[in-house]
Amino acid sequence: MRQIDHFMPTASPAPARTHKVWNPSTGEVQAEVVLGDAALLDAAVATAQSVQPAWAATNPQKRARVMFKFKELVETNMQSLAEMLSSEHGKTVDDAKGDVQRGLEVIEYACGIPQVLKGEYTQGAGPGIDVYSVRQPLGIGAGITPFNFPAMIPMWMFGMAIAVGNAFILKPSERDPSVPVRLAELFIEAGAPEGLLQVIHGDKVMVDAILDHPAISAVSFVGSSDIAHYVYRRGAENGKRIQAMGGAKNHGIVMPDADLDQVVNDLAGAAFGSAGERCMALPVVVPVGEDTANKLREKLIPAINALRIGVSNDPDAHYGPVVTPEHKARIEQWITTAEEEGAEIVIDGRGFSLQGHEDGFFVGPTLIDQVTPTMASYQEEIFGPVLQMVRANDFEDALRLPSEHQYGNGVAIFTRNGHAAREFASRVNVGMVGINVPIPVPVAYHSFGGWKRSGFGDIDQYGTEGLAFWTKRKKVTQRWPDGGGDGSNAFVIPTMG
């Protein structure tokens, strides 16, 4: 069986523990990934410490050239990366290409690091005194990334961290680890020194080792909210800078004046694309008024029934399998829970079987109506191809639902009314807002981050926030006297004579 090892210059020890890597489309184990421990992390940190000072001393334009070359190599290898990603995650190849491309957008931003790293300067802040500030790297950063975006989120993290002068240690999800390793190989091929970007695999043992290691200055995490809170707390206790992005339960508010055909088209992609395994998926739709709800439901049913579920390399599939058999069982249990709570299962995706791939981890598209805010299935993240409908009486009722929910990652409002959209965007207690945009992920030169239990830490991902997270600001106040003996002419400009 194929073995996926760590990507680091030093030889890793014989594997004591491994983790299965499934092919979600067939239900077969296709590889085993080697899991590391604290001793392996020590070796990776030692390597990072040996290469980071020289990289930090490399001028920004030379670091940018590595980023440019890496971007070119990833684009050249786009098809093979997407196929590799799909085979382990289950998302379609086209969706996998989007995963890679959204990560590349942050790499493109990092290519401009000479511009964004420029500091501030004040001449004459006092008599003969100038003040300036510069951003300097932290030293060694680490990233702990989830299974659902094995290309995008690692590039969000290491692109900015390395561009500003840090070394980086990545611990990707053990469920789909091959693409992060391949990205690291391409990064070295692009001209980065060996050991600057290392990929080490592991489970909670490795996560704890990262959070406890005294030489790692900052950790970026994306995953479930309970683990995000744990990462934030333990890392902060150890004096680290932490950003920990958690789960979500994003709402789509549908006003009575919305274009329902467009809403249905948007919901089909936002709720069911990538089998709903996105922290920015849109799994809750909130029609305002019974008439809006009934009309929307009438249009949703045929659209959802028309979705094609297929293997990850099926070019006609709207979405593929979920990542593991355990996750499939968890999603189906949430549908059962909603039914037991009194919700109406309008379209039931439990027990879905794809002909010829009966052992694959497929869940059919599911629509649940008559969901209420007290139901556990509404309060918690399902992370699957399940769309819940919560009916709102009016605008204020619709505004209250996402604002009071424990998660605050993303929200969208569908309307033709500019005043309603402006009022909603201003008042809703959620970190990222879309107006007639179902998945409001900001572009790379802005920043990504949710509120409440969707994000722990004060600094967001990528953009100027990413620059701030991966650097520390040094402030210098300077005065240059002329060196005259008693200082009486300390501020006289020297002359040539």
β-pairing, 241-245 vs 218-222, is parallel
List of residues 6+ apart from 245 with CB closer than 8 A: 221, 222, 223, 228, 279, 448, 449, 450, 454, 455, 456, 461
Closest CA to 307 of 275, 330, 263, 260: 275
The span from the CA of 362 to the CA of 464, in Å, is 39
Nearest to 325 by CA among 59, 25, 93, 52: 25
CA dist list (Å): 109 to 103, 137, 156: 10, 17, 10
Q: Where are the alpha helices (DSSP H) in 93-199?
A: 93-110, 113-116, 152-163, 178-189
Residue for token pair 């680091």: 8
Choice among 279, 354, 387, 467 that is catalytic: 279
CA distance 370 to 285: 11
- 360: nearest Cα among 23, 20, 62: 23
User: Within a 10 A sphere around the Cβ of 465, how many other Cβ atoms?
Assistant: 18
- The owner of tokens 């240690």 is 169
The answer to whether 217 and 138 have CB atoms below 8 angstroms apart is yes
To which H or E segment does residue 32 belong? strand 28-35
DSSP for 288-313, written as a single string: BSHHHHHHHHHHHHHHHHTPPB--TT
- Quick count: other Cβ atoms within 10 Å of Cβ 330? 15
Token pair for 289: 């008024």
3-state secondary structure of 31: strand
Task: Using alpha carbons, list the distances in angstroms from residue 145 to 40, 158, 165, 227, 228.
Answer: 18, 11, 21, 12, 11
Q: How far apart are CA 34 and CA 20, in angstroms?
A: 9
Determine contact, residues 45/140, Cβ cutoff 8 Å: yes
- Active site annotation includes 111: no
The letter for the amino acid at 313 is N
Instruction: State both tokens at 123.
Output: 């001449």
Cβ 362 vs Cβ 321: under 8 Å:
yes
How many residues belong to the chain?
497
Tell me the catalytic residues: 279
